Structure 1
């Protein structure tokens, strides 16, 4: 299985490139349709999109094995939240790829009686579950990093306030232990602003986490639209798919941008 995983990793960049071109065709088809282009041109673009989708399914044959191997590695993570999110996400990806392989067999005529609509909806459900778990993992890591930075800032501020020449604005000496109700709203605004600055600081200093968050946020609109849970149209789906594909290609070209574990 390890040899197959190594072989499969070599085709990952080709699959990402096909994905980028496929969603470019989706976006282009939507733009041409809105612009009133000729029907034969629209048909050509849709056929190219369909061929690219079938090519991607061929390149993804065996990805279930890679996802299962990743799930086996994630089981040994020490953090229980990361262990749960990453393991279950990889298991859902394995099921998604298995459904995708069934769809490929059906489109190739190997399974002529396959209900392709049913298996397509099933694959998008597994895809959506995996993305939700990936977003939960991103949110957890962001929260942990924000708490770490907040504790570090509090320790630094505490060491400064311990000197006799420095007084905190909220110290008893300044008589501001019990703020009046009229000042509660500005304090909430200041707190929210500080949290947003802290969030921006954490994401700016963790490019792999930022890219993974953006990629998952873009990808989640695709199954939501295909399942009819949040219809956005082919234009938005094409734009989101293209953006997430470009981000994925960046992580392949620069492995240090890939979020670990």
Structure 2
């Protein structure tokens, strides 16, 4: 078994797909793994995959042309997930799709195939988390009138959030910082948004954990707690609709339940 070890990014995984396919070793004799997330096997050969944007783009073009745009969106979200088998899942899905010939354009409809079902489930989990983040994400305005938001998602959903917020805040520079994965999406208010990763995000760590202390933030927090009806409180229902892991990044919970915020304004 030859294991192709990919960088943890969509480009890295798609490059791994290209190299594994072009190796001509046979699909049953290769496997894809993400760097740092696999256990060495005594009888396997490991090959490091260097990210190559041209190779990744060839894979993307082939998927869009021979399969479908939906199939591409599925594997892209799968590559952004935190599942340890995400690279292998993408590869097996594409093997099924391209092996089906013309029927490959309907590969996303064949959920009875285990490889398709796996990618469908991973894609759905990532898409759901991205959707929740559009509802729960909060911005604070810091120096130079730049909006800053810190999030802590399970999956790498920042790249999925950027088109949504650039469309809704077209003239407002903002940064969405993913604390868990050390990456950030940056929009300057013009041109194109871009991603920062790893060491590039170190300057943003100074803002990590800061509470929005503006008067509007205090007013919003006070309003949130004032409108609650004590007799109607249902913590279990609230946790179901708003999981606890999102709350530490939300303005209305950063101030706690102190109802004196109104008096401070």
Structure 2 length as normaliser, TM-score? 0.23
Computing the radius of gyration from Cα coordinates, the structure with the larger value is 1
In proportion to residue count, which structure has more strand? 2
In proportion to residue count, which structure has more helix? 1
